[in-house]
């Protein structure tokens, strides 16, 4: 973040350290509001050494869009200022007295000259020195530009043009996202190694197209991630009903509130971890105004190789505090389709549908229904021991656990709440018929589904032990396992 770099540069001044700070930001990231908040503050410090390298490859996950993209496109194609000034100086220096005076006059008017030959006023109007555009693959040119930027002694923008996927032809041919996120591929061709079955994202994407055909008030919003969140097919079918806001989740959420207020139903698809950026807007602009906005959270839970920043393990904890919000955790493809439709039918409150990454497993059939919850396994006895609450895609694992417990003589009921917020009213009476409640979720234990159900049981006066299994904090310790399950008799 540019704000992080600004903080380091401030600390260097306080500590009297004679050092430069260099921050690198992509043109896609510049579409976010925080980047411009930082630039606004950085530009105010004329003597603070800070070099900002804009890595401009015209893409984030997909091609960069918006007014900033248009401005950068202008800068990319009009690099004549430096060449013009150099040639002019060479010419005028042949007439030393008159030439030098005229050159100084031209140099003093460089702002207007730059805007005429290479319009870059957006940065310089902020008070930021601008260098570029530079070929980011030309090492000598890049070193020269960075050296000049360092000599300036204040905040400088170094605009570098690069090519995403450079050096690997299959990536260059992939117009969708230039291999932004790569799974298993054939290295020679770049073609994916096919996996069996559909994935969660494509199931959602296909259902969105069906919804769009049935309802002309359904629109889609993405934050520079049209293909990764599965909205590319919807965009192709309904190009006038898709809004890409760039890497600006906050604006996307507020814009969705406005759309809902004006009578349409927006579906904002985003990675679960990136909804963190828009929490204030979800709470203040969507929920408090009772706007019918559906947030679809892709890559919820543990997403493996995506890395710490992309593991969506906090969404269910964060969203628990949002008043009126309803949160669905589908267990299979059928439930993604069904619960997405349930979500977009709600017009007076925000709804959330969250699902995992990768291949979606086979359908998990319900054998009954209690309240709004699906019963996935009945205990086979009138005095069951364990109520196992399965959240989302963990249903197959929970059914395996129940089978293992059954072999040990421990009778188990398995339920899928489907909507984990609010806690279903039938949960407390059902829990009261069991000796222990166990919750299993792919979310942080802190503030997660387990802790929310525990609170609901306390509020209902149901005194049943509850064990919650989820993602523990790195600083916490795993609670000790019980020596044995509570048994009847």
Which of helix, strand or coil describes residue 52?
Answer: strand
Q: Is 164 a catalytic residue?
A: yes
Q: Is 421 a catalytic residue?
A: no
- Provide the 10 A C-beta neighbour count for residue 323: 10
- Provide the 10 A C-beta neighbour count for residue 122: 17
- Burial code (b: 16+ CB inside 10 Å, e: under 16) for 351-374 equals bbbbbbbeebeeebebeeeeeebb
Peptide bond preceding 422 in cis form (omega within 30 of 0)? yes
Q: Which of 164, 331, 377, 421 is catalytic?
A: 164
> From CA 368, how far away is CA 376, in angstroms rounded?
7
Q: Which of 277, 377, 418, 445 is catalytic?
A: 277
Tell me how many degrees the CA angle 447-430-414 measures, rounded to the nearest 5.
75
Residues sharing a CB contact under 8 Å with residue 378, sequence separation 6 or more, in sequence order: 367, 368, 413
CB 364 within 8 A of CB 376: yes
CA of residue 354 relative to chain centroid, distance: 13
> From CA 169, how far away is CA 151, in angstroms rounded?
38
CA dihedral (462, 465, 466, 467) in degrees, to 10, reads 180
> From CA 161, how far away is CA 170, in angstroms rounded?
20
Which of helix, strand or coil describes residue 387?
Answer: strand
Q: Is 148 a catalytic residue?
A: no
Is residue 208 packed enough to be buried (19+ CB in 10 Å), middle (13-18) or exposed (0-12)? buried
In which residue are the tokens 């702002």 written?
Answer: 111
Q: Which of 58, 207, 249, 441 is catalytic?
A: 249
> From CA 225, how far away is CA 279, in angstroms rounded?
19
Active site residues: 164, 249, 277
């Amino acid at each position: 973040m540019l704000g992080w770099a600004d903080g380091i540069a401030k600390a260097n001044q306080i500590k009297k350290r004679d050092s430069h700070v260099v921050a690198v930001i992509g043109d896609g990231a510049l579409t976010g509001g925080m980047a411009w908040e930082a630039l606004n503050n950085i530009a105010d410090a004329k003597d603070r050494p800070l070099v900002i390298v804009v890595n401009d490859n015209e893409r984030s996950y997909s091609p960069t869009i918006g007014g900033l993209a248009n401005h950068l496109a202008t800068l990319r194609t009009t690099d004549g200022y430096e060449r013009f000034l150099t040639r002019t100086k060479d010419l005028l220096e042949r007439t030393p007295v008159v030439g030098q005076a005229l050159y100084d006059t031209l140099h003093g008017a460089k702002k207007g000259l730059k805007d005429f030959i290479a319009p870059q006023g957006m940065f310089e109007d902020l008070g930021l020195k601008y260098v570029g555009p530079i070929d980011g693959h030309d090492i000598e040119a890049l070193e020269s530009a960075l050296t000049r930027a360092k000599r300036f002694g204040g905040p400088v923008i170094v605009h570098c043009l690069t090519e995403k996927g450079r050096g690997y032809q299959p990536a260059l041919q992939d117009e969708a996202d230039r291999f932004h996120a790569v799974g298993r591929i054939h290295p020679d061709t770049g073609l994916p190694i096919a996996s069996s079955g559909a994935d969660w994202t494509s199931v959602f994407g296909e259902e969105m197209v069906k919804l769009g055909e049935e309802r002309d008030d359904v629109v889609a919003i993405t934050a520079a991630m049209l293909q990764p969140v599965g909205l590319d097919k919807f965009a192709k079918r309904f190009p006038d009903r898709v809004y890409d806001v760039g890497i600006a989740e906050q604006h996307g959420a507020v814009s969705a509130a406005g759309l809902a207020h004006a009578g349409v139903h927006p579906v904002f698809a985003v990675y679960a971890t990136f909804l963190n950026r828009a929490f204030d807007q979800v709470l203040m602009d969507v929920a408090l105004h009772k706007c019918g906005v559906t947030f679809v959270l892709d890559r919820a839970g543990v997403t493996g190789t995506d890395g710490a920043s992309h593991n969506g393990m906090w969404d269910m904890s964060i969203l628990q505090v949002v008043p009126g919000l309803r949160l669905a955790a589908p267990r299979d493809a059928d439930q993604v389709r069904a619960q997405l439709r349930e979500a977009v039918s709600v017009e007076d409150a925000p709804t959330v549908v969250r699902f995992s990454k990768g291949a979606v497993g086979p359908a998990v059939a319900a054998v009954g229904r209690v309240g709004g919850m699906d019963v996935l396994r009945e205990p086979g006895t009138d005095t069951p021991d364990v109520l196992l609450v399965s959240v989302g895609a963990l249903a197959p694992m929970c059914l395996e656990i129940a089978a293992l417990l059954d072999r040990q003589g421990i009778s188990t009921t398995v339920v899928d709440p489907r909507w984990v917020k609010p806690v279903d009213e039938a949960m407390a009476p059902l829990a009261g018929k069991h000796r222990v409640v166990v919750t299993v979720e792919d979310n942080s234990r802190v503030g997660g589904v387990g802790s929310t159900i525990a609170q609901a049981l306390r509020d209902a006066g149901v005194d049943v032990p509850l064990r919650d299994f989820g993602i523990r904090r790195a600083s916490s310790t795993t609670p000790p396992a019980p020596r044995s399950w509570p048994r009847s008799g």
